[in-house]
Amino acid sequence: MSFFSTSGDMSSAILETSGFLPAIMLTLDGPTGILCTINVSVPDLLPRTRGQLLGELADAAEDTQAGNILIGGAWADSVLFTENQVAQLSSEFQLFTNAHLCLITYNRDSSPMKCFPLDTGGPYSLMGIWESTKSLAPRRRSAEQPASSHRNGARPHPRTAVTLRPCTPLYDNFIANMEISAQEHTSGQEFKKYITETCFFGSLLTLDVYGERIDTPVPLSVKMEELFRAAENQRELQVQRLRRKHPGDNFPHHWRMDDDDMKEIYNTWRKDVQSWMRGSTLAKYEEMERRELWQDAHQLGKRSFSTYLFQLSGCKFLLHALIRLPVISSSLPNSKHDSYHIPEIADILNELIDAYEDHLSGRRKPRVKTV
């Protein structure tokens, strides 16, 4: 990292962290307040060790009472899993990446940083710009969800307001299991890249599932949790329908949905406009029905549902796969869904990555032109 300042003093310290990884912390008293930076090189670590490391670095930086914090350096190839752990930190950090270079930023006023990759062919670099906090109107948080407790041992910074962190238990469990499965599957790295770069990108991180714009981009973990909740809800509704239609038959929560199930799920979901349609569109839809413009209402519903699914999932393949396969229910620890054996989550995740391989090969097939 490079610095230039016309005023202020700089102090440095060597941090001893989990796994005895050395990290250099610099604290600069600048014109806009205290800036703290930590430079660390992170090898391939176990998930728990990496999460503990992130917590220790964040705590050390917050102890300086800095209004702006930068934590960065060369990171092992675990961006998808690191993002999930950054989202659980007790303060609102942002994560930026350029290949294996990671930058985690914090601003006390929740001013988002604009970050740009300067070199993409290596050596890698990032440039970050914070807007002047004096020119910013107060911002509301980007993702107000039910709060989870602060991580064990963490304490709110005396000069920092307590922040409600996202509660993402379904995605957290998925990530904990996926990190192992992705290493063992031949397409695991490709699947990780797909979730990180393809599912949610650009403006999708500034839209909620109803298409309403939000103030600042939400963490990927929050978008994925919304997706997982919706998929698990649709699976649960279908299992209940199957049990009502076939009393006495065994339809466990880890039931694999077939083509008929998937057709019924999507048709029933689309018709339940109250559960997914944004308010302004719903008003138009209901007005069409009052005027008995049934075809117009039907077409509006189809278009809006397709848009909703895209905003919910970023890529409809993953939503489809999460509904078809019991990925979520099988990954929950101490699941109370069924008293009998639940398939091994590793097998289910392998099926999920296999399905992604089929999806990818289908996209790569050349299109045959007809005349």
Structure tokens at 277: 């349609």
User: Which of the 8 DSSP states describes residue 100?
Assistant: T
**How many angstroms separate the CA atoms of 285 and 334, rounded?**
43
Q: What pLDDT is recorded for position 333?
A: 56
pLDDT band at 240; cut points 50, 70, 90: very high
Distances (CA, A) of 193 to 30, 182, 185: 38, 11, 14
Mean per-residue pLDDT, 264-276: 96
Report residue 351's pLDDT band, with 50, 70 and 90 as the boundaries. very high
For the chain, the helix, strand and coil percentages under 3-state DSSP, each to the nearest 5: 45, 15, 40
More confident residue, 29 or 105: 105
| 44 token code pair | 């391939």
- Give the per-residue pLDDT at 49: 81
Residue 269: what pLDDT? Answer: 97
DSSP type of residue 75: B
Q: Would you kindly state where each structural domain of the chain is located, as residue ranges?
A: 10-135, 169-364
Q: Can you tell me the mean pLDDT for 282-300?
A: 96
Average model confidence (pLDDT) across the chain: 79
Task: Round to whole Å and give the CA distance between 122 and 129.
Answer: 21
For residue 161, is pLDDT > 80?
no
Using alpha carbons, select from 71, 67, 19 the residue that is nearest to residue 47. Answer: 19
Instruction: Tell me what the mean pLDDT of segment 81-108 comes to.
Output: 84
More confidently predicted of 28 and 342: 28
pLDDT, tens only, 2-57? 555 555 677 777 887 766 678 889 998 876 778 899 998 888 777 778 888 888 89
- Could you please state the CATH topology (level 3) that the domain comprising 10-135 is classified under: Deoxyribonuclease I; Chain A (3.60.10)
More confident residue, 328 or 152: 328
Tokens of 3: 């610095």
Tell me how far apart the 2 most distant CA atoms of the chain are, in Å: 78
Half-sphere exposure of 329 (CA within 13 A, CB side): 24
C-alpha 131/C-alpha 111 separation (Å) is 7
User: Which of these, 212, 210, 204, 257, lies nearest to 232 by C-alpha position?
Assistant: 257
pTM, entire model: 0.72
Q: Is there a contact between 352 and 317 (Cβ–Cβ < 8 Å)? A: no
- Give 159's pLDDT tier (boundaries 50, 70, 90): very low
| 120-140 pLDDT per residue, tens | 777 788 888 876 544 444 433
Q: CA–CA separation, 93 vs 88, rounded Å?
A: 9
- Whether the pLDDT of residue 232 is over 90: the answer is yes
